[in-house]
Amino acid sequence: MAEIIVNEASLTPYEDKMKIALKVLEEDFNNIRAGRANPRILDKITVNYYGVDSPLNQVANIQVPEARMITIQPWESNMIKEIERALNMSDLGINPQNDGRLIRLIFPQLTEERRKELAREVNQMGESTKVSIRNVRREGIDTYRGYQKQNKISEDELYNFEQDMQVLTNK
């Protein structure tokens, strides 16, 4: 009767999908501008470098000299205008300050309103990740219920798989 073996390996593809959802959440958290200077918020910014879009960290030195400031020093001084343009076009919400050889990004203090807005954003990110993890659980359980209906696995194996998926989801 049992054509499909239900074991730990059966959970692996679903566990991988859940880990991907958590990794996306972690990346989203890293990209939140929360009042402290974090150079990772610049990871997705690209600069036109001689006709090729290049990541900012490949055309400039990025440093955090103070808790609320990021400095960007281009390796080539003629790139400073291009970097400033890319920063202005991004959705950072910070105006770059250009002194001719260095660009400064100064992060303002968090207001109470901004804190509440950040809390809402983080809550939404968490909820959407929970939903995607639940969808992975449902996908796995539905797949194995189909196998049970086709008599490829027994009811006990289906029950054990559902319990294992729940444990995996609760991690």
pLDDT value at residue 34: 67
- What would the pLDDT profile of 60-101 be if each residue is shown by its tens digit? 899 988 888 889 999 888 888 888 888 888 877 788 888 888
The answer, yes or no, to whether residue 1 has pLDDT greater than 80, is: no
- What would the pLDDT profile of 19-61 be if each residue is shown by its tens digit? 999 999 988 887 776 667 778 888 888 888 888 888 888 888 9
CA distance 117 to 100: 35
Under CATH, which number does the domain 8-29+113-170 receive? 1.10.132.20
pTM of the model as a whole: 0.66
> 6 falls in which pLDDT band (50, 70, 90)?
low
Can you give the three-state secondary structure of the chain, one letter per residue?
Answer: CCCCCCCHHHHHHHHHHHHHHHHHHHHHHHCCCCCCCCHHHHCCCEEEECCEEEEHHHCEEEEEEECCEEEEEECCHHHHHHHHHHHHHCCCCCCCEECCCCEEEECCCCCHHHHHHHHHHHHHHHHHHHHHHHHHHHHHHHHHHHHHHCCCCCHHHHHHHHHHHHHHHHC
Assess contact for 35 and 107: CB atoms under 8 A. yes
Question: For the residues 6-29, what does the mean pLDDT come to?
Answer: 86
> Which residue is it, tokens 């790139």?
79
Taking all residues of the chain, what is their mean pLDDT, rounded to a whole number? 86
The strand pairing partners of 70, in sequence order, are 105
> Which residue is it, tokens 């991004």?
90
- The domain locations on the chain are 8-29+113-170, 35-109
Four-way CATH pick for 35-109: 3.40.50.2000, 3.30.420.40, 3.40.710.10, 3.30.1360.40 = 3.30.1360.40
pLDDT value at residue 33: 65
Q: Which of 164, 155, 170, 148 is nearest to 9 (CA)?
A: 164
- What is the distance of C-alpha 85 from the center of its chain? 25
Tokens standing for residue 9: 């390996």
